[in-house]
């Protein structure tokens, strides 16, 4: 499914959680609240996945990002 597709759904969502998220996020609609919550959940989980790479990536000893910027 691409981002432009919309899915109609009927979910039983805890109204207290939804209302609090809507208030805290200052969203106008429940739809905006749920969409933003899903986006933030996905981003958070992807960040956790990145943390799994810690200690598993080898870097070149002579790597110098400042030197690479100068070459641009």
Q: What is the tens place of the pLDDT at every residue in 22-68? A: 999 999 999 999 999 999 999 999 999 988 887 787 778 888 888 87
Whether 10 is covered by a domain: the verdict is no
Whether 2 is covered by a domain: the verdict is no
Domain count, the chain: 1
Cα Dmax for the chain: 56
How far is it, in rounded angstroms, from Cα 1 to Cα 61?
42
Backbone angles phi, psi at 27, to 5 degrees: -90, 150
Whether 25 is covered by a domain: the verdict is yes
Whether 8 is covered by a domain: the verdict is no
Q: Which structural domain, as residue segments, surrounds residue 22?
A: 15-70
Whether 26 is covered by a domain: the verdict is yes
Q: Is the pLDDT score of 1 beyond 60?
A: no
């Amino acid at each position: 499914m691409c981002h432009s597709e919309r899915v109609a759904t009927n979910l039983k969502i805890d109204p207290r959680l939804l209302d609090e998220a809507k208030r805290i996020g200052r969203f106008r609609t429940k739809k905006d609240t749920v969409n933003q919550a899903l986006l933030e959940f996905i981003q958070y989980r992807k960040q956790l996945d990145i943390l799994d790479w810690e200690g598993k990536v080898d870097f070149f000893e002579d790597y110098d990002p400042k030197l690479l910027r100068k070459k641009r």
